[in-house]
Chain A
Amino acid sequence: MTTRRQILAGAGAAMAFGALGMPLVANAQSKKTVVLASMGPLTGNFDPTSHTTLGQGNFEKIVFSHLTRAPMEEGKTDILEPDLATSWQIIDEHTIEFKLREGVKFHDGKVFGAEDVKATFEYASDPSRPAASYYPGRVDVEVVDPLTVRIKTGKYGYPASTFWFVSSFLPILSADDVAKPDLLQQRPNGTNAFKYVKTEGDRSYLEANEEYFGGRPKIDEIVYAYVPDANTRVLGLMNGEYHIAERLEPEQYESLLSNNTVAVRKGLSTENKYLHFRCNKAPFDDPRIRLAAAHAIDRDQILELMGDAAVASSCFVSPMKFGYTEIENYPRYDPEASARLLEEAGFPGGAGLPQLEYITSIGFYPKTKEYGELIAAMMMEVGFDVQLTVLEPAAWEQAIYRGGDGQGAGHMCDVGWMTGSPEPDLVLRPNWHSGAALINGVSDPEIDASLDKERGTLDPAERLKVLASETFPLMAAKVPSFSLFSAVNFHGAAKNLKGVYYFPSGPIDLSKADFA
């Protein structure tokens, strides 16, 4: 017969078991660990050419090195520093040469050399790779000697100089891994300051690379934690659970300014936020309807709402990018023009339009839900019927990209685009060239032609002119996507954590960081 005491003892045992299953509190004294609270989930596939997502991209930058490094400090965004390449020069219109660093090893022990650069460039620019649209086009790489490579674009008919800035963006993979795609997907194997160790749940662990060519980092371990809520990130930062929190809300930034243990920083990013229209689906397959929607949106109100987290920009790329300009004919707030366009398109006052689903995220970018409500309300004022769908980041990342059948969910989505190089084509081609059009599905021969022309223009000054006088005005007239503003990023970090470099494109460099 069971007695009450036995039952209680059983319950006690269950709890003791529970306690045993807990991970022991890390012995923080002996090991310098930085816990980085990130807003972006990893994709579960460590092949850098398999995705265009921000979280995964930022994670990769901790493990992989690049040929060059683009710190993109405000005011001098076009400076490149050596990374795996020690020097580089343009040989002719279709050839660019990189001299490589000697004595670098991959985390798995393989010695780095020219064959790795060749394998990486040829693999990543292969049009069948999902992220191929990041790169200007296909390339052939010539191995001159074990530490010299030449990137050649002659066969594909566009200038090699387009790879100048992209060299700071493409993570260099081991040639052995490229040959074994399965292995490439399973774990990241780079040459940077930290090695990948393991992933447990939403936390990924990295440890210091003893043999890092820039010197062993002082931090022993990085825990890259996916924390899909800005509030959680900040509270965790304040109570010491996290050491760095990405993407604070502007109000959180304000209130943390006076905090004793937390330091905050803000900086203009390479990111613009876009309202993408699904251009291959009614009703936004009609440019007039897109323009009507753009004219209905009062961007001043959005900026007011965003506070310090945004700066006004009327262009398809951020002010940090080459070619940025205020576009003359960029759609302004004009409800009458909006009404007129709707009428022209056969939907006077919005009558006859279907209900439009507007997909946005929460916890990823600041205030997306708030300005989503604002945009929905403003569009409803001119007669659109808008339904806002707010998704958790991982679900949102699933929803925004077009599927294999070319169609995407909903009719509009809120997406930002942030890439680690001043090169504007990293934004323009993936988003608006019909060969990719990853989100909006636009397929417009005029836009394609203009993008190709801009890419093919060799002289920088001439290219600027083409962008400003042809490509951008054309896009502004057809608004396949409506750029809302340029984003300012806020980071919070423990005050005693020094030497961290925050790239304006999102990644965080901890190779020189240390706890004071």
Chain B
Amino acid sequence: MTGELASTASTAEVRAQRSLSATMFTNAWKTTEFRIGFFIFFGLIVLSIAGPSLLGVSPTKFSVAQKFMPPVGFGGDWSHILGTDQMGRDLFARSLIGLRNALIIGVTSVVGMFVVGSAIGMIAGYVGGWIELLLMRITDAQMAIPVIILAITILGLSRPTPVTIICVLILAGWPAYARTARSVMLSERRKEYVRAAKILGASNIRILLVHIAPNILPPIAFVAVLDVARMMIIEAILGFIGIGIQPPTPTFGTIIADGTKYLMNAWWITTVPGLLLTISLCGINLMGGALERARNKLLQGVS
């Protein structure tokens, strides 16, 4: 019974793959860096969701009479723990909303890149021929434009909204994922279980989604995690230049940019969002780094 044999072979291989990615995460989890990173990251997510309402102050409500209040410990009081900005808005609440926006944009765009990139990469690898050639050349072309240049050009010339920002980041970031997906595709489709599944009459889409797609995650999971951090920096840069999410919505970049004028009399306006962003990035990068080393060890062990 070829069919049964093939299907057991395939499930076994899939299981092996799944456990590979599970091992990777388990190994990473065992490291201190990953745990520190994870707790920072998790803590910040909770804070950015619950924080603004817990603080009991509005991030956008201005009260000009209370402008430039310093943080607690520098002459401020507990009504605005980390001080206020040039319009008397609570800096902590604003930074937390900024964090929330940065996380949303960072995570959504990376998920988008992963989906779009994987789809294109898998199609290229699966179909082959001139389509593959064309798609891979487009990948090359895309990789030859630095993300920032592409983002500045598009967003600077159109009206930036959260949706366009995410789209631009996806547009700039998908090629790396497409390449990985394609190479996974190329190595996987020669494998026994794929051929077996084909013989059994499984549809192309089913093979792609059920059998091959899960294999893309392990080699690129760490890239994705690091990319979240990268996208958050880019979001801040866009806001700083003035082509990110537009006011009155607070973002890290706009708060920092607004604060540059007041560096001399109110250093906290740039410092609070800057520090918060740095801490979040540290958390994410620690996780990404730990995942990368776990993956490398695993691959060395396998080969």
Contact = CB atoms under 8 A, between A and B. Distances in A.
B261 A305 contact: no
B247 interface: yes
A-side interface mostly: helix
Nearest to B262: A251
A147 interface: no
Contacts of A427: none
Contacts of A255: 264-265
Given A301-B64, A305-B64, A370 B264 contact: no
A254 interface: yes
A272 B125 CA distance: 65
Given A369-B247, A387-B246, A390-B242, A374 B64 contact: yes
Interface string B52-83: 00000000101011011000000000000000
B242 A362 contact: yes
B260 interface: yes
A464 interface: no
Interface in A364-407: 367, 369-370, 373-374, 376-377, 387-390, 392
A230 B261 contact: yes
B85 to A, nearest CB: 9
B22 to A, nearest CB: 44
Band of interface residues on A = 20 to 34
Contact of A370 (B65, B68, B87, B260): B87
Most buried by A among B62, B242, B263, B264: B264
Nearest to B63: A301
Contact of A252 (B65, B86, B247, B264): B264
Nearest to A366: B261
A246 interface: no
Interface string B257-276: 01011111110000000000
B65 A377 contact: no
B247 A304 contact: no
B242 A305 contact: no
B261 to A, nearest CB: 5
Contacts of A370: 86-87, 258
B221 to A, nearest CB: 36
B248 interface: yes
B265 A305 contact: no
B-side interface mostly: loop
A231 interface: yes
A281 B264 CA distance: 43
B87 to A, nearest CB: 6
Contacts of A367: 86
Given A230-B261, A251-B265, A370-B87, A377 B246 contact: no
Most buried by A among B242, B248, B260, B262: B248
Nearest to A372: B247
B192 to A, nearest CB: 45
B67 A305 contact: yes
Contacts of B64: 301, 304-305, 374
A423 interface: no
A249 B264 CA distance: 11
A373 B246 CA distance: 11
A415 B87 CA distance: 21
Contact of A376 (B248, B261, B262): B248
Given A255-B265, A305-B87, A374-B87, A369 B62 contact: no
Interface string A105-140: 000000000000000000000000000000000000
Contact of B266 (A230, A251, A301): A251
Contacts of A304: 64-65, 67
Contact of B62 (A231, A249, A362, A374): A374
A392 B241 CA distance: 10
B125 to A, nearest CB: 35
Nearest to A250: B265
B263 A377 contact: no
Contacts of A389: 246
Contacts of B87: 305, 370, 373-374
Contacts of A376: 248
Nearest to A387: B246
A389 B68 CA distance: 25
A301 B63 CA distance: 8
A377 B248 contact: yes
A159 B86 CA distance: 49
A243 to B, nearest CB: 20
Nearest to A306: B64
Contacts of A390: 242, 246-247
Contacts of B264: 251-252, 255
Given A305-B87, A377-B62, A231 B246 contact: no
B248 A249 contact: no
Contact of A373 (B242, B247, B262): B247
Nearest to B266: A251
B265 A254 contact: yes
Contacts of A388: 246-248
Interface string B96-117: 0000000000000000000000
A304 B246 CA distance: 24
B88 to A, nearest CB: 9
Contact of B261 (A251, A377, A387): A251
Nearest to A259: B264
A255 B264 CA distance: 7
Interface string A332-367: 000000000000000000000000000000100001
Given A370-B87, A374-B64, A377-B62, A231 B263 contact: yes
B46 to A, nearest CB: 29
B78 to A, nearest CB: 23
A251 B86 CA distance: 10
A389 to B, nearest CB: 8
Interface string A155-173: 0000000000000000000
B301 to A, nearest CB: 34
13 contacts: A230-B261, A251-B86, A251-B265, A251-B266, A254-B265, A255-B264, A362-B242, A367-B86, A370-B86, A370-B87, A370-B258, A373-B87, A377-B62
Interface of B: 60, 62, 64-65, 67-68, 86-87, 242, 246-248, 258, 260-266
Q: Which 9 A-B pairs have the closest CB atoms?
A: A255-B264, A304-B64, A251-B265, A305-B64, A231-B260, A231-B261, A301-B64, A255-B265, A373-B247
Given A252-B264, A373-B247, 10 more contacts: A230-B261, A251-B68, A251-B265, A254-B265, A304-B65, A305-B67, A369-B258, A370-B86, A373-B248, A377-B60
